[in-house]
Amino acid sequence: MLVFILARIEIPIFTERLSMAIGLGLGISRFPFATGSEYFDWVDLCELGGVDSIWQTDRLVSKEPMLECIATMAALAGATEKIRFGMNVASIALRDPLVTAKQCATIDLLSNGRLLPAFGIGSALSQDYSASGTPTKRRGKKADEALQLVHRLWYEENVDFDGEFFQYKGACISPRPVNAKIPLWIGGSSKAAMRRTALYGTGWLGGIDTPEQSALMVKGIKAALKETGRQIDHDHYGATFSFRFGSPTEASAQRASEGLRARLKQDPGRYMVVGDCAAIKTRINEFINAGCSKFVMLPIATNPADMMNQTRHFIEELLPEFS
């Protein structure tokens, strides 16, 4: 992921803010539970508590426990009734587009249209590439072809395609998604991601970004949309960040901060927030001012009880602030 390093940049106040539909979802990266039953207890808490959506980070190669994101979507389709769910974000350049389109269509049908598919290309530094010997050269072009194919397979009866990486003749899937307007969210924080979103996306979902980075991405995507002649709803821009109700001096908060510092090679303060409800609300409002209205918020928690506690704070204190 390309990270913009910014200083003294004011976030523009978007005029559409008053009509934005704010959605606060929760995401999981590292799996904090000991069993599947504990995970589904958390899912039940989210659904009953009115959480907008549940998201799963995509990472295939990892010593840390990480759920496979598309399999998780299928499990959520059967375990829930109302809540939506998505991938944050699936690395499409590592996946076969025909299989991916079929998986997503199946999950969308079985969940009655609640799937929120989101795709990116994945970092060139990811172990998913290096450990499997998968070339990273032209992975952006491969992702572009795959995104086209996934979208076309969802909507067209027969798909012919002659690309650099994929060649299809008369390809089709059935059943297709039950959601006639199934979304296609695009992730990434680079100029290439701006272009890719403007070409193929129905929304943009940022990774672990700052409000300042998100403002640049929203502005860049809207400029790119003028070139492609497409439109994206103004409330289809999303942000991801880590949070914790508590003190920055807590061991879990310190570990999260150190981990982000090592990954980003800079002060992690703008990429996460630890404090009370007011502090977290302030950060959300900074992202809203940057043009984002959909959120994947990652609780900083180290064990099942802590995760449940953080989620209850989220539901009881934060959700009412944006209802």
Q: Find, among 221, 209, 159, the residue nearest to 185 by Cα.
A: 221
Q: Residues 76, 111: contact at Cβ < 8 Å?
A: yes
pLDDT at site 5: 32
What pLDDT, in 10s, does the model give residues 274-317? 999 999 999 999 999 999 999 999 999 989 999 999 999 999 99
Average pLDDT of the chain to the nearest whole number: 92
Q: Does residue 187 register a pLDDT over 80?
A: yes
Q: pLDDT band at 211, cuts 50/70/90?
A: very high
pLDDT at site 16: 53
Q: pLDDT band at 130, cuts 50/70/90?
A: confident
Q: Above pLDDT 90, what percent of the chain?
A: 85
What pLDDT, in 10s, does the model give residues 240-282? 999 999 999 999 999 999 999 998 888 999 999 999 999 999 9
What's the predicted TM-score (pTM) here? 0.91
Q: Quote the CA–CA distance of 89 and 84 in Å, as a whole number.
A: 15
What's the average model confidence in pLDDT over 209-236? 97
pLDDT at site 19: 65
pLDDT at site 20: 77
Q: Does residue 3 register a pLDDT over 50?
A: no
Q: Quote the CA–CA distance of 49 and 36 in Å, as a whole number.
A: 20
Q: pLDDT band at 15, cuts 50/70/90?
A: very low
Q: Above pLDDT 70, what percent of the chain?
A: 93
pLDDT at site 208: 87
Q: Quote the CA–CA distance of 260 and 272 in Å, as a whole number.
A: 9
Residue 81: both structure tokens together? 């009734």
Q: Residues 181, 203: contact at Cβ < 8 Å?
A: no
What pLDDT, in 10s, does the model give residues 31-88? 999 999 999 999 999 999 999 999 999 999 999 999 999 999 999 999 999 999 999 9
pLDDT at site 10: 41
- Helix 69-79 to helix 36-48 angle (10° resolution) is 60
pLDDT at site 9: 35
Q: pLDDT band at 134, cuts 50/70/90?
A: confident
Beta carbons within 8 Å of 249's beta carbon, 6+ residues apart: none
Q: Which fold has domain 15-322?
A: TIM Barrel (3.20.20)
Q: Find, among 174, 166, 209, the residue nearest to 296 by Cα.
A: 209
What pLDDT, in 10s, does the model give residues 112-121? 999 999 999 9
What's the average model confidence in pLDDT over 175-202? 96
Q: Does residue 168 register a pLDDT over 80?
A: yes
